Chain A
Amino acid sequence: MPYNVMIVDDAAMMRLYIASFIKTLPDFKVVAQAANGQEALDKLAAQPNVDLILLDIEMPVMDGMEFLRHAKLKTRAKICMLSSVAVSGSPHAARARELGADGVVAKPSGTVSHDLEEKTGDELARTMRTLMAA
């Protein structure tokens, strides 16, 4: 049974890229997508069987950090930040860890990273699997 994934990203193209990448992973399945944190919280309440959330940071309405603060209280789903500003050791990555992000992966080429699969695919897949195995 594949793990259920929710993608939260305000860039429509990015949601498309991530979903397309996840299709290549037989052990994961995209069950929900949201364009901001508030929408994601609403969908999470309606769809509790999400196992993993891939979360962008900079989004309108409710950003990824704020979503993280709220979502971590009420869901057991693992949350992996996937953001261009979450470079290793950066203040954003540190803040995400502080708020309870289970994993942090940097998008390789900005908010819209069309080369996500090519450049970060392995790292993302490995992180997703590590989180689900933990």
Chain B
Amino acid sequence: MSDDFDEMDEIWALYADDGAQALDAMEASLLALKAGEAPDAHVGSLFRAVHTFKGNSRVLGLSVVESRAHLSEDLIGLVRDEGVAMDAEIVEILLFASDVLRAMLEETAATRADVDPSGSEVLMEQLQDKIARCRDGGEAAAAPDPVAPAMAVEVAPPPPVVDVPPPVAVEAPPVVASPAPAPAPVPDPVVASEPAPAPARAISRLADDPTYRAIFRDMAQGALDKFAAQLARFAAEPGPAASLARSEAEGLKHAAGQMGLDDWAEALAAFLSGSIDPETLSALVLRLDDLMDAPPQVPPQPAGDRPFFEAIADPLSRLSHLGIRIATGETPAADEIESAVAAVRASAAAEGYVRVVEALDALRGAEGNEAFRTGELKLYEELSAVEAIMPEAAAAAGISPRKMLRSWCAGHAFDTLSTLETVLNTLRTHAGDAEFRRFDRLMRLVHHACEHHSIDTAAQLAMSLVDLFSRVHSSGVAPDAMLLHIARGFIETIELALDAIEQGEKPATEVLERLFEEAANVCFLTDGLMTAGAIERRLGLPSEFHRVLSPDSVRSAAEELEKGKRFYIVRTDINDDDRIAEAFLEWLSGDQARSITNVTVFRGAETLFDFLVSSRLDEPDLIEALVRMDPSGRRLKLTQALWPSEAEATDPTEIPGNAPLAQGAAITPEMLETIGEISASQAMVHHLLAELAESDLAEEMETLMRQSGWDWGVARTSVRAMLDIHAARLQEIAQAETALTAQLAALQEETVSLRARPASTVLRPLQTFVETLARRSRREARLTTAGDELPLDLSLLERLRGVLRGLVAIRMEPAGGGAAQLHVSLRRDEERVIVMVQDDGGPQADTPAFTDLVAGIKRLNGSFRAVPVPGGGLRFHIGLPLSMVVLEGMVVGVDGVRYVVPVDAIRTILQVEPEMLMTISAAGGQRVLRISDSEIVAIHRLRGHPLEGGRDRPWPPLRRVFVILGNAGRSVAIPVDELVGQQLVLLRLLRGVLSRLNHLTGLALLAGGDVGMVLSANRICEPQAAEAV
């Protein structure tokens, strides 16, 4: 804990220092502006100072301070980015802000707490008032005044939600004050399209970079020298000479290809395609000599020696305007595009920015509005990367590709999120390369949009998802339910956050924090491991080990904890001592110690490594082992012995109800205990069976008989005793096997419970979804729920989410009656989750969306029914089959096929006499079973094969055992050949053609490896299910 306090002291001290410096810089800039200096020399530094101050305040959770700094930053931003003149009033307001912020800094540094907001209300009012007046337009792009003599920046219209300007159409070079472009019509969202195909590589060449060109020239000269040497050697050693010449030519050809020097590559390829002899080698040397002497095709140089961003400002602006013209349906002349592209390209090639060059080549080949827009977007992404390494240069040139990219992405965010949701749905069923690529692309656009709105956690989470899906893609599998859940939760949360921003509200980001935690832990959770955080806490690891434990390390640590090993941190200085390094690593591979993980520690110029090690050795023995490897004691040092705490009952980061996905997803201590018991039982069964296998009853019997002189009367007692022992052994095995079965069943149940989440996981976001939909259509709507605590499997929740969102959206539309009050209740029986949705909307039209929804539910093997509610509104009854359910079933046999009957649905099992069977002529000869004096039940016949047979199939010989099922007041008798026994089974849903089997719920793997068909008591007991026999 003392370390924590020290660290916090240091952080607050830094905050005070940095804050004072930032405010000094702010004040200096403002005073310079007040003295009449040109704004463009100071606005950038003013903005950075306030931005830094704001960021520091946010880090420490000082939201009042942050909000005041944020508004100040907004005002400066209007000057910097939107052409508002830096007038005397702004300078005065900001000087006032600087004083207020300084007082806040002093107070917060002293109290380490946020300030009272009431003390800065006057400042807030002034800032808000000025910002509002500037944004109203009356003060935008004002004529130069004495304080702002040269602020001639083109005004960027703030992007409305839908009618956004194209991405690159808003910023002009700083010197040329051209009028703002006319708003372009809404373009087709680029986000839905694939990136333009990569250009031919020969167009963008490393050869255009003078540095690479010089390197290649040296390489080529070296090759020519070697060719000359091999020519001289040919007469004496033709084989080796040809071989070496080939090898050299191959290397040079590869390099020529990399450089984009097609003429070189072609000459070398021609040489390599034939036999190599002195003649062909001489021809090659002559050809390469020619190429060496040929003047390099130098690309057009940028005008003068201007810095990159300055050089591209004008052609980039031209490209932007061309984009607008294309969007409005014009077709600019090819040379207009070519001229602008070539100018930017020349500057990029001169700097060696190969990816910018590639983006420009793609743009050059773009045909049509959408392709051009995609190309522009790619170009701006690449230019953003350049800007990231020299932001000052870009700012000095008055352009910011990164800002424009983000602004465009923010303007299109809802379209992007909508397309992303579609792609995510596709990934569930068809995880192809194209879908993964689209996901990656769209998520990056969302990332930029989040950056635009400064929702940092969301921006980071977007890239985490890019990482997770990319790894899934390269592993060749489809994303699992957990990953899809996180991605979907992210999309929903961002939609809500953007919606809140649009409404002028502060977006809620708590959910994002949780999702980010889940994303960071997903590799542990999917492996069923404890999280890295749990190990960190249990071992009390120092901060250097925070977030570095891989799943493998976590697994190793968990194993070692189980074994009660000791844990140590050993600091090593082995980077330049191979002998000790090898000895140490070999020691870690032995049986004395195990490396859990290690981290780099930088100490001055030295690179050291801290190893987290588990060992059976106590501290003195471990030190002795280290000294044996490093007698000097300088390279291997024990720095800390760790004392693991007891296992946590729950992970404190996984708050019940707040983190539904992660909650309980790791292996619980109970599960570990059960696994241990199973292992012990299995060992016992193995031991007993081995013992039994070794015994030879016949031989023992013979021995006893021989000993008794073959007199049975004498031998009888001994033989009985021997058989009793044998029987006891068999009984012991049977008991052990029973225990094993029970333990396995418990494990099965626990495993299933790992995947269970409360229905609120879906219902709570659904309420927010309804409110958002209502707000978008400027009305009110409310959703109430029941059954929130019902535990359901993750995959079922995914299905349920889709169905409910679809239905609610349809019912809230005018065609769906414009429902404003909705109620969803959930319950479940043995086989299904039963959903009731009731609303106050009008009749439901057969819209395509509604038809699709119903068809989708049927495809899920579900049921759907709509009922008018007296007094208005509709009630929908939806049934979806449960998945991943453990149920207790009676296994029965019919015609050699195993069926599982849910035990809860069995009323009784009867052995019947023929007279109990009756035929009812009035019911078309239907056979029934009299099960008591007052009750007759219909007979439902199971067939040997679920896909064969019908009513006309001959009735088999009389079966005497009947299982009587009861459900909802109705009963049915099922004749069976045998009762196999009772068993806990894991229900697996039917897929494909099997899903059309009405009377089955699913399949289950039975003891002994058979597959059993699980009967649906609900459906079998429906009136039409009973069959005549």
| Interface of B toward A, CB cutoff 8 Å | 206, 209, 211-212, 215-216, 250, 254-255, 258-259, 352-356, 385-386, 388-389, 447, 460-461, 463-468, 470-471, 474-475, 519-523, 532, 547-553, 556, 574-576, 578, 581, 585, 588-589, 595-600, 602, 605, 607, 609, 611-612
A33 beta carbon closer than 8 Å to chain B: no
Q: Across the interface, which residues of A come within 8 angstroms of B467, CB to CB?
A: 88-90, 93-94, 96-97, 104
Q: Which of chain B's residues have a CB closer than 8 A to the CB of A103?
A: 470, 474
Whether the pair B547, A73 counts as a contact (CB closer than 8 A) is no
Whether A73 and B352, one on each chain, are in contact in the complex, defined by CB atoms closer than 8 angstroms, is yes
B548 and A84 contact, CB distance less than 8 A: yes
Q: Which of A72-117 contact B (CB under 8 A)?
A: 72-76, 84-85, 87-100, 103-104, 106-112, 114-115
Contact residue among A60, A74, A88 (Cβ-Cβ distance under 8 Å from B352): A74
Give the docked Cα–Cα distance between A49 and B220 (Å).
13
Partner of B599, one of A73, A92, A111: A111
Nearest Cβ on chain B to A43's Cβ, whole angstroms: 12
B600 and A11 contacting across the interface, CB-CB below 8 Å:
yes
13 contacts between A and B (CB under 8 A): A72-B355, A74-B209, A75-B354, A88-B471, A93-B464, A94-B460, A94-B467, A97-B466, A99-B385, A103-B474, A107-B550, A110-B548, A126-B475
Max chain B Cβ within 10 angstroms of own Cβ: one of A58, A90, A92, A114? A90
With a cutoff of 8 Å between Cβ atoms, the chain A residues found around residue B598 in the complex are 84, 109-112
B209: nearest residue on chain A (CB-CB)? A74
Q: Are A90 and B520 in contact (CB under 8 A)?
A: yes
In the bound complex, how far is the Cα of B607 from the Cα of A68, in angstroms?
A: 21
The residues of B that contact A100 with a CB separation of less than 8 Å are 385
Answer whether residue A132 sits at the interface, using C-beta atoms and an 8 A cutoff.
no
> Taking the nearest CB of chain B, how far is it from the CB of A11, in angstroms?
6
Contacts of A10 on B, CB cut-off 8 Å? 575, 600, 607
Query: In the complex the two chains form, is B386's CB within 8 Å of A73's CB?
Result: yes
Chain A residue at minimal CB-CB distance from B473: A130
How far apart are the CA atoms of A24 and B532 in the complex, in Å? 32
Shortest C-beta distance, A124 to chain B (Å), equals 11
Q: With both chains docked as a complex, state the minimum distance between the C-beta of A15 and any C-beta of chain B, in angstroms.
A: 10
Q: B519 to chain A: which residues have CB within 8 Å?
A: 89
Q: Min CB distance, A83 to chain B, in Å?
A: 9
Shortest distance from the beta carbon of A125 to any chain B beta carbon, whole Å: 11
Provide the bound-state CA to CA distance between A22 and B206, in Å: 27
A74 to B609: give the CA distance in the assembly, Å.
32
Whether A88 contacts B468 by the Cβ 8 Å rule is yes
Residue in A10, A45, A84, A96 with the greatest tally of chain B CB atoms within 10 Å: A84
Shortest Cβ gap from A80 to chain B (Å):
10
Pair A11/B389 contact, Cβ less than 8 Å: no
Residues of A near B209 (CB, < 8 A) are 74
- Contacting pair B595 A114 (CB below 8 A): yes
A48: contacting residue among B212, B355, B585, B595, CB under 8 A: B212
Chain B residue nearest to A1 (CB atoms) is B254
B595 cross-chain contacts in A, Cβ below 8 A: 109-110, 114
Q: Are B215 and A48 in touch, CB under 8 angstroms?
A: yes
Chain B residues, CB < 8 A from A45: 211, 215
Is A23 located at the chain interface by the 8 A CB criterion?
no
Instruction: Find out whether the CB atom of A49 lies under 8 angstroms from the CB atom of B211.
Output: no
Knowing that A74-B353, A106-B550, A110-B609 touch, tell me 17 more A-B residue pairs with CB under 8 angstroms: A11-B607, A11-B609, A49-B255, A59-B600, A69-B389, A75-B354, A76-B355, A87-B550, A88-B471, A91-B464, A93-B464, A97-B470, A104-B470, A104-B471, A108-B550, A114-B589, A127-B474
Contact: A89 with B464, CB < 8 Å?
A: yes
Question: Which residues does chain B contribute within 8 Å of A88, judged by CB atoms?
Answer: 467-468, 471, 522-523
Tell me, in angstroms, the Cα distance from A84 to B575 when the chains sit together. Answer: 17
Bound-state Cα–Cα, A72 to B523, Å: 28
Interface size class of A (residues with CB under 8 A): 35 or more
Which listed residue (B211, B255, B355, B575) contacts A12, Cβ 8 A? B575
Nearest-CB residue, chain A, relative to B468: A89
Q: Which of A70, A76, A96, A98 contacts B354 (CB 8 A)?
A: A76
Return the contact of B597 from the options A84, A90, A92, A130 (Cβ within 8 A): A84
With a CB–CB cut-off of 8 A, which chain B residues contact A108? 550, 552-553
Given contacts A48-B206, A108-B550, contact A87 B609 (CB under 8 A): no
Question: Which residue of the partner chain B has the closest CB to A128?
Answer: B474
Taking CB atoms, residues of chain A closer than 8 Å to B475 are: 123, 126
Contacts of B548 in A (CB 8 A): 84-85, 87, 110
Chain B nearest CB, measured from A74 CB (Å): 5
Task: Kindly state whether residue A25 has any CB partner on chain B within 8 Å.
Answer: no
Nearest B residue (CB) for A83: B548
Contacting B550 at CB < 8 Å: which of A72, A109, A130?
A: A109
Q: Cβ of B611: which chain A residues have Cβ within 8 Å of it? A: 110, 112
Contact across chains for B574 and A13 when beta carbons are under 8 A apart: yes
Chain A residue with minimal CB distance to B595?
A109
Q: In the complex, what distance in Å separates the CA atom of A96 from the CA atom of B470? A: 12
- A60-B385 in contact given A89-B464, A97-B470, A109-B596 (Cβ < 8 Å): no
Contact in complex: A111, B609 (CB < 8 Å): yes
Residues of B within 8 A of A91 (CB): 460, 464, 520, 547
**A21: shortest Cβ distance to chain B, in Å?**
15
Query: CA separation between A10 and B576, bound complex, in Å?
Result: 11
Chain A nearest Cβ from B629, distance in angstroms:
14
Bound CA span A60–B595, Å: 23
Closest partner residue, chain B, to A119 (CB atom): B552
Contact B597 A110 (CB under 8 A): yes
Chain B proximity of A31: nearest CB distance (Å): 11
Query: Which residue of B has the minimal Cβ distance to A13?
Result: B581
A119 to B552, CA, bound (A): 8
A70 engages B600 (CB within 8 Å):
no
User: Please, which residues of chain A bring their CB within 8 A of the CB of B521?
Assistant: 89
CB contact under 8 A between A130 and B474, given known A75-B354, A87-B551, A109-B598: yes
Q: Tell me which residues across on chain A come within 8 A of B612, comparing CB atoms.
A: 110
Q: Decide: B585 and A112 in contact? CB cutoff 8 A.
A: yes
